[in-house]
């Protein structure tokens, strides 16, 4: 769906965060462990077998409307991003999809040890990486209404919440974010929140 190579930056106090294309042979195992853990319940894959997880990412790999990305922290897999054309998903039946609209889902691995503002740093990196793609005009998300943690991140990053939707597997919020929305949101951040999302490196 997107012509994605790698996007990364060094975050003060954390080290390097980077996004790159998902490779099934290298990353399906860790993705399966993450997706079947309780903290990933909003992805709806907690009961998937390892084979079903491989099938899931194989379908994405052959898709013209979806892309999977692996995120690394200090060189180790640490988060997963799925990017999609909203017109190919149920959310696309609930609003007028515009050229340049891109949907996204993020999953962060269960931490071995908590790192202050790590989740926010990952979220900000992902938003910036997608807006670095020339084809991306607006990000679209449809988080479960009960997923309070992601609502905080979305709104901090500049997502504008529009209305609730009844999707086949959940009741969700429809929210969107343009690059201008993102830039305005940056001015409302605390100094520590702003420090971890400073755009110091260009896409690789």
For residue 101, what is the domain's CATH number?
3.40.630.30
- State how far the alpha carbon of 176 is from the alpha carbons of 154, 158, 160, in Å: 9, 8, 5
204 in a structural domain: no
Between CA 12 and CA 88 the distance in angstroms is 38
Between CA 94 and CA 18 the distance in angstroms is 33
pLDDT greater than 50 at residue 202:
no
Per-residue pLDDT tens over the stretch 89-147: 999 999 999 999 999 999 999 888 889 999 999 999 999 999 999 999 999 999 999 99
pLDDT greater than 90 at residue 62:
yes
61 in a structural domain: yes
1 in a structural domain: no
Between CA 70 and CA 34 the distance in angstroms is 12
pLDDT greater than 50 at residue 203:
no
Residue 49: which domain range? 7-195
User: What are φ and ψ of residue 84, in 5° steps?
Assistant: -150, 160
Non-local CB neighbours of 82 within 8 Å, separated by 6+ positions: 60, 66, 67, 68, 69, 104, 105
Return the H-helix or E-strand segment holding 119: helix 118-131
What is the average pLDDT value for the chain, to the nearest integer? 93
Per-residue pLDDT tens over the stretch 145-174: 999 999 999 999 999 999 999 999 999 999
């Amino acid at each position: 769906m997107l012509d994605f190579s790698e996007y990364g930056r060094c975050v003060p106090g954390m080290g390097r965060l980077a996004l790159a294309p998902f490779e099934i042979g290298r990353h399906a195992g860790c993705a399966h462990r993450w997706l079947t853990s309780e903290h990933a319940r909003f992805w709806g894959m907690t009961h998937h077998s390892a084979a079903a997880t491989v099938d899931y990412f194989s379908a994405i790999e052959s898709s013209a409307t979806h892309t999977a990305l692996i995120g690394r922290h200090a060189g180790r897999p640490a988060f997963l991003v799925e990017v999609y054309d909203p017109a190919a998903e149920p959310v696309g039946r609930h609003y007028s999809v515009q050229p340049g609209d891109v949907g996204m889902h993020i999953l962060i691995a269960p931490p071995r040890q908590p790192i202050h503002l790590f989740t926010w740093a990952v979220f900000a990196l992902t938003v910036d990486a997608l807006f670095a793609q020339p084809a991306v005009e607006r990000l679209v998300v449809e988080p479960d209404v009960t997923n309070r943690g992601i609502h905080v991140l979305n709104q901090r990053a500049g997502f504008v919440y529009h209305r609730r939707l009844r999707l086949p597997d959940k009741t969700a919020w429809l929210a969107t974010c343009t690059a201008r929305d993102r830039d305005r949101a940056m001015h409302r951040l605390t100094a520590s929140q702003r420090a971890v999302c400073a755009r110091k490196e260009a896409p690789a």
